[in-house]
Amino acid sequence: MTQSAPTSRGGVGVAPHLALVAVQLFFGTWPIAGKLVLRVLPSTGLVALRIAGATIAFVLLLRVTGHRPIERNSDYLRLALFSLLGVVLNQFLYVKGLALSTVINATLLGTTIPIFTLLVSFLLGNERPALRHLLGMSLAAAGVIYLVDPLAANFSRTTMLGNILLIANTICYAAYLAISQDLIRRYGALTVITWVFVFGSIMAVPFGGWYLARTPLLDVGAMIWLAVLYIILFPTVGAYYLNAWALGRVAPSTVAIYIYLQPLFALALAPLLLGEQINSRTWLAALLIFAGVAIVTLRQRSRVIEEVSERPDALSR
């Protein structure tokens, strides 16, 4: 059994959008588990465990489902680049930036990912600028900015280095989204993401492992290891695979716009896990964010509906 790569952009239906919602749910919950783990394990060690664990899971999945062999040596170089941008730099810069800055700043600066993704896509000629892109991202960004209240953000000199690292993180991840689509369509999401994590392990595990070796792991409790397992399986294996799968079916800008849902999931879980209250600011922010996502994806969904109505066989793809 071999994994098939998508060959057409038509008839994508609602599945990629549901996958992207799940991705943001997974990504939105990992800081909660991560906060618990980082009380015991070093940040670089957590990144190493996350990447190594996900690599093992992806390799096992690939062996079970089959894969398309990489056809060109140049594609290995591209996969290594994707790994550097989307896994290694993305995770190390975010964790270190968050440690030096604040959660509010990280959330605020994260709203620039769709902007950078769209800019890279425009520069590469992968997408054409459209008014609906700009309008949708502006509405969603306004919702997130209103939600986190930029007046409460701390951009003092003590957090400046952390903020710079967080901005670098958004640029790396945006570039990964914008340039990885071609290989995902040719080889399939699982093959590409497995190789991305294999290269990521080669680069990240020795560095993070050195810090782990200095940590008394025998003293780490079972709850911490369960949290690590959750981080590996859901915010890493589940999120990265579904993100790559959706990226093979919809535009990078569409994938990026869903990043704006992460703060909503965080606030939805806060009352359950932290006892925090949801107020009118949350509801207005939610309205703006969902309106922005709808505007970016509405035209693509309309084309799908038209194709299905004109070609009944499109549903069988």
Residue 23 lies in a domain: yes
Burial class (CB in 10 A: 0-12, 13-18, 19+), 182: middle
* C-alpha count within 13 angstroms, C-beta hemisphere, residue 99: 12
pLDDT tops 90 at residue 278: no
The confidence score (pLDDT) of residue 259 equals: 79
* Contact (Cβ atoms closer than 8 angstroms) between residue 263 and residue 148: yes
Domain that holds residue 249: 15-303
Q: How confident is the model at residue 156 (pLDDT cuts 50, 70, 90)?
A: low
- Whole-structure pTM value: 0.75
Measured N-to-C along each axis, helices 113-124 and 131-148 cross at an angle, to the nearest 10 degrees, of 160
Greater pLDDT, 147 or 116 = 116
How confident is the model over 169-190, as pLDDT tens digits? 988 998 998 899 889 989 999 9
pLDDT tops 50 at residue 3: no
pLDDT tops 50 at residue 64: yes
Residue 45 lies in a domain: yes
pLDDT tops 70 at residue 103: no
Residue 7 lies in a domain: no
* C-alpha count within 13 angstroms, C-beta hemisphere, residue 43: 12
pLDDT tops 70 at residue 316: no
The confidence score (pLDDT) of residue 271 equals: 63
Q: Which of 264-268, 270-274, 286-290 has the highest mean pLDDT?
A: 286-290
Residue 4 lies in a domain: no
* Contact (Cβ atoms closer than 8 angstroms) between residue 295 and residue 136: yes
> What total of structural domains would you count in the chain?
1
The confidence score (pLDDT) of residue 270 equals: 58
CA distances to 207, 298, 315, 316 from 310, rounded to whole Å, are 55, 18, 11, 14
Helices (H), 111-238: 113-124, 131-148, 160-179, 181-187, 189-212, 222-231
Measured N-to-C along each axis, helices 15-37 and 239-247 cross at an angle, to the nearest 10 degrees, of 150
The confidence score (pLDDT) of residue 39 equals: 83
Distance CA 47, CA 220 (A): 16
Q: How confident is the model at residue 264 (pLDDT cuts 50, 70, 90)?
A: confident
Residue 3 lies in a domain: no
Q: CB neighbours of 51 closer than 8 A, spacing ≥ 6?
A: 87, 88, 91, 197, 200, 201, 204, 205, 208, 236
Residue 317 lies in a domain: no
Distance CA 16, CA 313 (A): 19
